[in-house]
A and B are shown apart, each in its own frame.
Chain A
Amino acid sequence: MSATTAESRVAVATQRQLIWWRFRKHKLALVSAFVVLAFYVVAVFADTIAYTEPFDTQASRSYIPPQPIHWFDAAGHFHPTVNALKGTRDPRTFKLAYVPDASEPRDLVLFGHGYEYRLFGIIPTDIHLLGVVNSRPQDALFLLGTDQLGRDVFSRLILASRTSLSIGLIGVVISLVLGVLLGGISGLYGGWIDVVIQRVIEILRSIPTIPLWMGLASAVPNSWTPQQVYFAITLIISLIGWTELARVVRGRFLALREEDFITAAELAGASQMRIIFKHMVPSFLSHIIAAVSLALPAMIISETTLSFLGLGLRPPAISWGVLLQDAQNLQTLALAPWLLVVALPVIVVILAFNFLGDGLRDAADPYG
């Protein structure tokens, strides 16, 4: 009985429902969807989650190791504190060193006050997710330590995720426009124009991309503002990244052209525009969404790689690649291994996108 009700439920379900049911079955993809969402929430509220001005340098506080939060006080009650840092002089070298001072715990509060910023670029505020009572956060709170210039790694990491995640999104949009346009033309018209576009794709894919990116990126003048560099790099990455999307779009067009319902629409006298947008696009939209979610991590890796090499975004812009550049050599790694923590969000978000894309691809064709 239940089997038949389930079957009849499937029979009347809309395509959207079918895709959702199929996607839900892929647990890893479902979890990944939430992880990706969480990353973008962090990117949107980056200024609130960061607690220290990311450009605030204090040379004397370079390479402070991560400061743990003490969750409970001596009596065992929940009372999160961090130890204030006390400057001491080495009796022999007179070098200033900061050590956590356990006798001076500072209370940690949610939604405390910190540096001023504009939420969403509009609303001026100084409320941050974490705050330290009776002290500026940059005097006590170093969740992930500091870098060479004494900047707080945690705050920089949070703000970097905004750059890196958005560059991926914008890059994918540009690739998508190119891919849909060229792939669509290729698949729709066929003939010599298809041959030309296919050859271009083949050629682009047979050239090693990284040397090419490096060559193009090195031509970005030093005098450009961070915003200009940001768009130049996005453009360079997406100029080569569109081929895979074009391939997917062309493949779907070719497959759909043979379908009976397209022939039926043609026979019924529907215009070409109507066939494309009313019949074809809805049936391969899900495939494109899947392809996009697989293209995004590749974009993020590209940006991170280029910036890591020093050819992509450059300081004062902060992205994951720029931050990883600090962890490039062995001496730094030996001295400040916590700088490598930036690798973690990169790996997690790329994994999540891959799983999500996998799940979406499986769900994209719910009739299969």
Chain B
Amino acid sequence: MLTYVLRRLGLAVITVFAITVVTFVILHLPPVDFVTAYAAQVAASGSSISPAEADAMRLAYGLNEPLLVQYWKWLSMVAVGDFGRSFEYGRPVTEVIGDRLWLTILLSLGAIVVTWGLALPIGIYSAVRQYSIGDYIFTFIGFAGLAVPNFLFALIIMYVGLRVFNTSVGGLFSSEFQLAPWSWAKVWDLAGHLPIPMLILALAGTAQLVRIMRANLLDELRRPYVVTARARGLSERRVIMKYPVRAALNPFASTIGYLLPYTVSGSIIISVVLSLPTVGPLLLHSLISQDMLLGSTIILMLGVLTVFGTLLSDLLLMWIDPRIRLGQLK
């Protein structure tokens, strides 16, 4: 068990390291370095920064030194939470991101809860009632969920909302709460806006999970122990829920490792389409205007948080599943 935890921790550390390298590469990919871009941006807005100031920034990030030194300087700044300033907003990057990061996490986690909440009962139903009309309907919806990219789905929902219900489904807050400080009324308002983006985001993941759950459960249902349980006169509900579902659940839970990155990815896009105040639109905007310190920080934060979430879920899984706990399963 300890070796499993250590192995898992080690992988997480390596992954975080890989993410910092990738982020650094993205930060430096644009042909114009970000200090020059900053100076140009400031000059365009009327005022200007002195060459001394620009040189001070270059020095801080070590832009004239070898890449390895630059990486080290950048990393040691990031490690203590200094992500630099956003050129476009003229404020520290962390301030610009602010609540948006938490809203992204809330949206993604909410979508995963919805995914599980939908996929579990539907998967069980589809397996137990294989080839029933309901099974076919869910299979069809599942394939549609896989085939429709979620930004398209968001677009279509938005169009339907506009045409049929004559409302706009975009945003996470009503207009009166958009700039208001946090209060219970604002939280309540958020709760009212979250379900639609969550559902849109959950659709594709649900479709995948239903298929996995259905296939796993079908495999389990053919096992002799199920026949034995039935022969012993256990109620049908007990026969299915007590053992096969539990056995089929394990791969189901372990897919969160893929589900989380997938959902975070999706949240970026549907946030852009539905103009949700998450990091999505901010990331897109910063990348297009080449505000690289802001953009790369968002990429870094999303990556690290995803790794952290996956790690947590794996440890949780280990705690739940005795086979991993006892070291019998890799």
Contact = CB atoms under 8 A, between A and B. Distances in A.
A4 to B, nearest CB: 29
Contact of A347 (B30, B148, B307): B148
Given A311-B287, A330-B158, A343-B152, A211 B147 contact: no
Interface of B is mostly: helix
A343 B266 CA distance: 18
A324 B152 CA distance: 9
B100 to A, nearest CB: 13
Interface stretch (B180-188, B240-248, B296-304): B296-304
B162 interface: yes
Contacts of A205: 257-258, 261
Contacts of B284: 214, 309-311
- Interface range on chain A: under 10, 10 to 19, 20 to 34, or 35 or more? 35 or more
A333 interface: yes
B30 A199 contact: no
Nearest to A297: B147
A304 B306 CA distance: 24
Interface in A303-335: 304-305, 308-311, 324, 327-328, 330, 333-334
Contacts of A354: 143, 146-147
Nearest to B26: A215
A321 to B, nearest CB: 9
Interface stretch (A172-180, A216-224, A262-270): A216-224
B288 A207 contact: no
Given A218-B288, A308-B151, A311-B288, A210 B307 contact: no
A354 B143 CA distance: 8
B137 interface: no
B77 interface: no
A309 B273 CA distance: 9
Contact of B29 (A216, A305, A330, A346): A216
A179 B31 CA distance: 30
B11 A211 contact: no
Given A199-B14, A203-B15, A340-B159, A211 B152 contact: no
Contacts of B23: 215
Contacts of A327: 155
Contacts, number: 132
A58 interface: no
Given A206-B257, A212-B26, 16 more contacts: A203-B14, A207-B19, A207-B22, A208-B265, A208-B303, A210-B268, A215-B287, A215-B295, A218-B288, A218-B290, A219-B29, A309-B284, A328-B273, A333-B159, A350-B147, A354-B143
B123 to A, nearest CB: 18
Contacts of B115: none
A215 B288 contact: no
Q: Please indicate which of the listed interface residues B151, B168, B290 has the most CB atoms of chain A within 10 Å of its own CB.
A: B151
B289 to A, nearest CB: 10
Interface string B135-151: 00000000110111101
Contacts of B316: none
Contacts of A119: none
A219 B32 CA distance: 10
Nearest to A219: B29
Given A208-B264, A215-B287, A305 B158 contact: no
Contacts of A333: 155, 158-159, 162
Interface in B150-170: 151-152, 155-156, 158-159, 162-163, 168, 170
**What 4 A-B pairs come out closest when comparing CB atoms?**
A219-B29, A218-B287, A210-B265, A215-B26
B127 interface: no
A352 B280 CA distance: 30
A330 B26 contact: no
Nearest to B303: A207
B310 A219 contact: no
Interface string B15-26: 100110011001
Interface residues of B, number: 52
Contacts of B258: 205
A51 interface: no
A80 interface: no
B283 interface: yes
Contacts of A301: 149
B88 to A, nearest CB: 14
Nearest to B266: A210
Contacts of B172: none
B269 interface: yes
A334 B162 contact: yes
18 contacts: A203-B11, A203-B18, A206-B310, A207-B261, A208-B262, A209-B261, A211-B302, A215-B295, A305-B149, A305-B151, A330-B168, A333-B155, A337-B159, A343-B156, A347-B144, A347-B148, A351-B143, A354-B147
A355 interface: yes
B30 A219 contact: yes
Nearest to A343: B152
B264 A351 contact: no
B272 interface: yes
Contacts of A56: none
Nearest to B31: A221
Contacts of A310: 284, 288
Given A324-B152, A330-B170, A354-B146, A208 B261 contact: yes
A203 B303 CA distance: 10
Given A218-B290, A328-B273, A351-B144, A211 B15 contact: no
Q: Please indicate which of the listed interface residues A215, A301, A308, A309 has the most CB atoms of chain B within 10 Å of its own CB.
A: A215
Interface string B27-44: 001110000000000000
Contacts of B22: 207, 212, 215
Contacts of B149: 301, 304-305, 346, 350
Contacts of A212: 22, 26, 299, 303
Contacts of B296: 215
Given A208-B265, A211-B283, A311-B287, A347 B302 contact: no
Q: Please indicate which of the listed interface residues A207, A304, A308, A347 has the most CB atoms of chain B within 10 Å of its own CB.
A: A207
A202 interface: yes
